[in-house]
Amino acid sequence: MALVTGAARRIGRAIALELARGGFDVVVHWRSSKKDAEATAADVEKTGARAWLVRADLQQIGEIEGLIGSVGELCGRLDLLVNNASSFFATPFGSTRESQFDDLIGSNLKAPFFCTQLAAPLLIASGRGQVINLVDAAALRPFPGYLPYSAAKAGLVALTIGLARVLAPKVRVNAVAPGPMLMPADMDEEYARRAVEATLLKRGGRAEDVARTVAFLATGPDYITGAVIPVDGGRAIA
């Protein structure tokens, strides 16, 4: 049984479908994209897996409590938590507002912490519990126009390593760090082009590349914890 936050669209949807194909039943979390979430759940069920839809605003601790409580009530167990939900938008230095900063830190760092803290008893009870966090290449090479986002993802890398230590040996905790892929519609085209050119492979990635890496961690070797796996076309070492 897997819970994927932000599973309605984009990378979250790809992860939910890949896990379903790998034998997981999936709780599809969504906040505002109800129709997309319903479509993801329907496609999960087409694989033969079961799917549940649960809405929650992960900026609100009470709603995270409700989400994890619903997982326990609906499914009775939790083997895998994928902290994927994320806000991402430009915040030029000098004009970033406090509300923007709080949004980015809240969705990219605070929410994964509390989702994991609240889910820990279920993950421990599973006997094979795992947490996989979605970080970003920006955690190691911060994007100048996206500093609060980059800082939040860097914090999530630290949190991944810390949680791996805190939850060992019962629960494994790892992270996947995507590079340039699925660029937002409002991203400057030149900025996006430079991001792709900064990779060794000179091309953008696909959501499926990330999903398959998550599935590898979820279903493959069980001797990996505290790792951050880049799926970035070599950008981190370029």
Catalytic residue numbers read 149
Q: Are 155 and 172 contacting, i.e. CB atoms less than 8 angstroms apart?
A: no
